[in-house]
Amino acid sequence: MANRFILNETSYHGAGAVKEIVTEAKARGFRKALIVTDADLVRFGVVKKVTDLLDGAGLAYEIYDKVKANPSVKVVQDGVEAFKAAGADYMIAIGGGSPQDTAKGIGIIINNPEFADVVSLEGVAPTKNRSVPIIAVATTAGTAAETTINYVITDEEKRRKFVCVDPHDIPVVAIVDPEMMSSMPKGLTASTGLDALTHAIEGYTTLGAWELADTLNLKAIELIARSLRKAVENDPQGRTDMALGQYVTGMAFSNVGLGVVHGMAHPLSAFYDTPHGVANAVLLPYVMEFNAPYTGEKFREIARAMGVAGVDAMSQDEYRKAAVEAVRKLSVDVGIPQTLREIGVKEEDLDALADAAMADVCTGGNPRPCTKELVLDVYRTAFGKA
DSSP characters over 96-164: SHHHHHHHHHHHHHHH-GGGTTSGGG-EE----SPPSPEEEEE-SSS--GGG-SEEEEEETTTTEEEEE
**271 lies in the same domain as 373:** yes
Assign 182 a pLDDT band (cuts: 50, 70, 90): confident
Instruction: Look at residue 386 in the predicted model and tell me its pLDDT.
Output: 65
Domain closes at, from 128, 148, 180: 180
> Are 84 and 199 found together in one domain?
no
Considering the domain architecture, whether residues 214 and 362 belong to the same structural domain is answered as yes
- Give domain status of residue 214, yes or no: yes
| Domain identity same for 319 and 301 | yes
* CATH code: domain of residue 156: 3.40.50.1970
pTM of the model: 0.95
Residues 247 and 151 in one domain: no
The Cα 54–Cα 251 span in angstroms is 28
Domain that residue 229 falls in: 186-383
Q: List b or e across 341-371, with b for residues whose CB sees 16 or more CB atoms inside 10 angstroms.
A: bebebeeebbeebbebbbebbbbbbbbbebe
**Selection from 142, 199, 137, 202 nearest residue 171 by Cα:** 137
pLDDT band for position 334 (cuts 50, 70, 90): very high
Cα torsion angle, 255, 197, 142, 356, sign:
positive
Neighbour order of strands in the sheet with 60-67: 10-13, 173-176, 134-138, 90-95, 32-38, 60-67
pLDDT digits (tens, 9 = 90+) for 189-221: 999 999 999 999 999 999 999 999 999 999 999
In a shared domain, residues 172 and 23: yes
Query: Looking at the domain assignment, is residue 210 inside a domain?
Result: yes
In a domain, 104, yes or no: yes
Domain final residue pick, 161, 180, 199:
180
Same domain for 232 and 175, yes or no, is: no
Q: What is the CATH number of the domain that holds 318?
A: 1.20.1090.10
Using pLDDT thresholds of 50, 70 and 90, give the confidence band for residue 183: confident
Backbone torsions φ then ψ of 339, nearest 5 degrees? -140, 155
pLDDT digits (tens, 9 = 90+) for 34-90: 999 999 999 999 999 999 999 999 999 999 999 998 899 999 999 999 999 999 999
Nearest partner of 164 among 209, 118, 202, judged by Cα: 118
Domain count, the chain: 2
Residues 226 and 121 in one domain: no
SS3 (DSSP) at 12: strand
263 belongs to a structural domain: yes
Q: Is residue 4 part of a domain?
A: no
Share of the chain above pLDDT 90, in %: 96
How many CA atoms, within 13 angstroms, populate the side-chain half-sphere of residue 242? 36
Q: Kindly report the backbone phi and psi dihedral angles of residue 82, in degrees, each rounded to the nearest multiple of 5, phi listed first.
A: -65, -40
Same domain membership, residue 288 and residue 170: no
Domain co-membership, 27 together with 135: yes
Say if residue 29 is in the same domain as residue 173: yes
Q: Is residue 44 part of a domain?
A: yes
pLDDT bin (cut points 50, 70, 90) of residue 1 is confident
The secondary structure of 35-95 as a DSSP string is EEEEHHHHHTTTTHHHHHHHHHHT-EEEEEEEE-SS-BHHHHHHHHHHHHHHT-SEEEEEE
Is the domain of 34 the same as that of 48? yes
CA angle 152, 280, 257 (to 5 degrees): 55
**Residue 187 burial class via C-beta count within 10 angstroms: exposed 0-12, middle 13-18, buried 19 and up:** middle
Q: Inform me whether the pLDDT recorded for 235 exceeds 70.
A: yes
Q: Is 176 helix (H, G, I), strand (E, B) or coil?
A: strand
What mean pLDDT comes out for the span 137-154?
95
**Residue 5 forms part of a structural domain:** no
In a domain, 292, yes or no: yes
Q: 238-255 pLDDT, tens per residue?
A: 999 999 999 999 999 999
Which of 147, 180, 213 is the last residue before a domain boundary?
180
Helix, strand or coil, per DSSP, at residue 10 = strand
